[in-house]
Amino acid sequence: MTRFMDVHHGMQGITAEQLQEGHDATAAIEQEEGVHFEHAWADPKSGTVYCLSEGPSAEAVKRAHERGGGGVPDEIHAVPLTV
């Protein structure tokens, strides 16, 4: 499994509750895509949301977001190295 960091733009004003709702909705279908969403972070001022996940491919991460109602990420980056 590969780790991915995906980025959503244009979410100015997002609240902690909205971030949690989006995370929960996506997590509800993650097993169907073989993806596990670990954490999400947001900056309401810039409208940027970051999601860390593990999955078989960037396409699976994208599908899980789409199907879960989390919105299509603007960017998905593989994160092959961690410390």
Stated pTM of the model? 0.91
pLDDT tens-digit series, residues 5-57: 999 999 999 999 999 998 899 888 999 999 999 999 999 999 999 999 999 99
Q: What average pLDDT score do residues 76-80 get?
A: 96
How many structural domains comprise the chain? Answer: 1
Q: Which residue has the tokens 């609240």?
A: 15
Residue 7's closest CA among 56, 46, 55, 57? 46
In the prediction, which pLDDT does 70 show? 74
Given pLDDT bands bounded at 50, 70 and 90, which one contains residue 82?
confident
For 1-83, strand residue ranges (E) read 2-8, 36-43, 48-55, 75-78
How many angstroms separate the Cα of 72 from the Cα of each of 19, 37, 59, 63, 81? 14, 14, 11, 8, 24
What is the domain extent for residue 53? Answer: 2-78
In the prediction, which pLDDT does 51 show? 96
Which CATH number do you get for residue 33? 3.30.70.3090
Backbone dihedral angles phi then psi of residue 62, each to the nearest 5 degrees: -60, -45
Tell me whether residue 22 is in a domain.
yes
